[in-house]
Structure 1
Amino acid sequence: MEIKNVVFSYDNVRDQLKDITVGIEQGKVTTIIGPNGCGKSTLLNVMSRNYTPRQGSIILDGKEISTYKAKEFAKKLAVVHQQNEAPADMTVENLVSFGRLPHKKMFKRPNEDDEQSIEWALEKTKLQAKRKMVISELSGGEKQRVWIAMMLAQNTPILFLDEPTTFLDMYYQIEILDLVKHLNELHGMTIVMVLHDINQAIRYSNSIIMMKDGEVKMKGHPTDVITVEAMKDIYGVDVIVKEDEEAGRYLVPMGI
């Protein structure tokens, strides 16, 4: 995916995205980071067609995304939003099955491909034993996995996740991010996600897009982007960058 000179504003007065030009590499995990209000989620929403840019273009597989028909685009890219809602009495399996809608004709019953895709999605998210449970009975981490499973059932090569670890405790955060890594490394999915935790971004990303004030300030490998100087410039904090044989590179904040 190529984002070229994209400008977006909610009110046509103040631009939330300012002349964004950046590329998303196929088969990689790309994480968008930056201070609150910098435009991370806005950029993801523009890339997923939830918002229409005021100018610029976004090219996916050689084609402007605005020219795709809805079902055609939904076969290319799936999105797990930050806030998701479903009827409390809906079962896990029923919700996951909605991921098959782009592949089905109206009034057609599920076929073998649908059933296999749903089963695969439940397996990858470790939800097979909970398939008959209703959504209201699940923990926060389990609910997040159900939404990811629904998007996996959509069977797309690209997955977008907007702050997938928000409101989860540390155990479920790591569980979700390990799943992201698994989907990328074992199944070659191209994944773009928004994260707040810099150390998680370093550990789970092949590439990082760093934003500030609606602009892309840096893009590259985590070890090239996450530096003492960049943290001071973008976040206004002093950090120490440490290296560990097992954990790899990580940051220790020192203060403002």
Structure 2
Amino acid sequence: MEVKNVSFSYNQKEDQLKSINLAVEPGKITTIIGPNGCGKSTLLEVMSSHNAPQKGQIILDGKLIQQYKSKELAKKLSVVHQKNEIPFDINVENLVSYGRMPYKRFFHHHNSEEDEEVIDWALSITNLQSKRKEKVEQLSGGERQRVWIAMALAQKTPILFLDEPTTYLDVYYQFEILELIKKLNREYNITIVMVLHDMNQAIRYSDWIIVMKNGEIVTEGSPKEVITEGMIESIYGVRAIVNHNDQSGFYVVPMGVARRNDNAT
């Protein structure tokens, strides 16, 4: 996927995205970070064709994204949104089966043998086999997030977008979800693009990091290239120590507010 000179605005008065250029490398985990309100989720929405850019182009496999029919695009790209509404009284297996809709003909809603195999695979890879008949609304937050990921996996797409997949989860479930995402990438070669807030999680689980501020991409590169003390102070207004010790690892320790950051909310 390529994003070329893309600008987008909700109200046509102020651009939420300003001349965005980026390329998503196949088979890698790309993470978008930046202060609240900088355009991270908006960029993901535009890249997934949820919103159309006012300017620029988004190209997927050599074709403009708006030229894809909805079912055709849903076979190439799946999305796990930050907030999801659970259909009333639905169980895990039935919700995951919604991911097979792009492969069904109109008025044919029963699952084929292939559909059932894919649903079983999605439940297995997300460790939900024992929960398949349980109501989604009765699950824990981490289990619910795995259900939404399983539904996206049932689409069998080579690209998966995740908008803040660890939001509202405690630390245990955050790492459970991130380890699952890493497994999907490493073992199944699914290209991942996700939005994260936690810089140390971005360091640990990303091949490539894109840093945004005020609707623009400020810098991008490998975690070691991008995550620097100067970047953190410039983008977030926070003093931090970036540790590169071979024994203790690569991580960020926030030390305090350096100055007011008017772009964070």
Specify the TM-score bucket, using the shorter chain as the normaliser. Answer: over 0.9
Contiguous gaps of at least 5 residues in structure 2: 258-265
In structure 1, what is the Cα distance between the partners aligned to 2:131 and 2:191?
Answer: 27
Deviation at 1:117, TM superposition (A): 0.6
Which residue is equivalent to 1:77? 77
SS of aligned partner of 2:107: coil
**1:233-252 mapped onto 2 (5 Å cutoff):** 233-245=234-246, 248-252=249-253
**1:9-158 mapped onto 2 (5 Å cutoff):** 9-108=9-108, 109-158=110-159
In structure 2, what is the Cα distance between the partners aligned to 1:244 and 1:81?
Answer: 35
Verify the 8 A CA contact 1:32 1:40 in the aligned structure 2: yes
Deviation at 1:136, TM superposition (A): 1.6
In structure 1, what is the Cα distance between the partners aligned to 2:42 and 2:245?
Answer: 34
Verify the 8 A CA contact 1:164 1:176 in the aligned structure 2: yes
Which residue is equivalent to 1:232? 233
TM-score of the aligned structures, taking structure 1 as reference length: 0.98
Verify the 8 A CA contact 1:203 1:248 in the aligned structure 2: no
Runs of 4+ deviating beyond 6 Å? none
1:121-161 deviation digits (Å, cap 9, x = unpaired): 00010000000000121000000000000000010000000
Verify the 8 A CA contact 1:48 1:77 in the aligned structure 2: yes
In structure 1, what is the Cα distance between the partners aligned to 2:93 and 2:245?
Answer: 41
% identical aligned pairs: 62
Deviation at 1:90, TM superposition (A): 0.3
TM-score of the aligned structures, taking structure 2 as reference length: 0.95
Would you say how many aligned residue pairs link Structure 1 and Structure 2? 256
Q: Which moved more, 1:197-206 or 1:232-241?
A: 232-241
SS of aligned partner of 1:253: strand
SS of aligned partner of 1:120: helix
Verify the 8 A CA contact 1:90 1:135 in the aligned structure 2: yes
Deviation at 1:247, TM superposition (A): 6.1
Contiguous gaps of at least 5 residues in structure 1: none
SS of aligned partner of 1:85: coil
Deviation at 1:171, TM superposition (A): 0.4
Deviation at 1:243, TM superposition (A): 2.9
1:90-142 deviation digits (Å, cap 9, x = unpaired): 00000000000001112332111101110000001000000000012100000
